[in-house]
Amino acid sequence: MARFTRQINIPTYSNYKKYKPYLRVDFRRLCAYCERPEKTVGGAGHCEIDHFKPREVAPELLAVYENLYYCCRECNNKKSKK
């Protein structure tokens, strides 16, 4: 996995979906897992937010920025609840 840099001093949201613009920057518009650029997987609309520790396992991390990864839909579906 490529090394990605997390931004500091980002706003705190209770809705994790609001973090997508920040995650796009942090992950350099690449999937966190396969590292394909978003433009090769169909654009930003085909990229999603993955909960590294799944919601079912760690619901307290639902909107914790450090637990969120930017990834393509294919990788997110493959990872699922793992």
Predicted TM-score (pTM) of the model is 0.90
How much is the pLDDT for 3?
Answer: 76
How much is the pLDDT for 1?
Answer: 55
How much is the pLDDT for 6?
Answer: 87
pLDDT digits (tens, 9 = 90+) for 14-51: 999 999 999 999 999 999 999 999 999 999 999 999 99
> Cβ atoms within 10 A of the Cβ of 40, count?
12
Residues 23 and 30: beta-carbon distance below 8 Å: no
Q: What phi and psi values does residue 73 have, to the nearest 5 degrees?
A: -60, -40
Tokens coding 53: 């520790």
Three-state SS at 56:
coil
Q: Which amino acid is at 48?
A: E
Three-state SS at 70:
strand
Higher pLDDT: 5 or 3? It is 5
How much is the pLDDT for 2?
Answer: 61
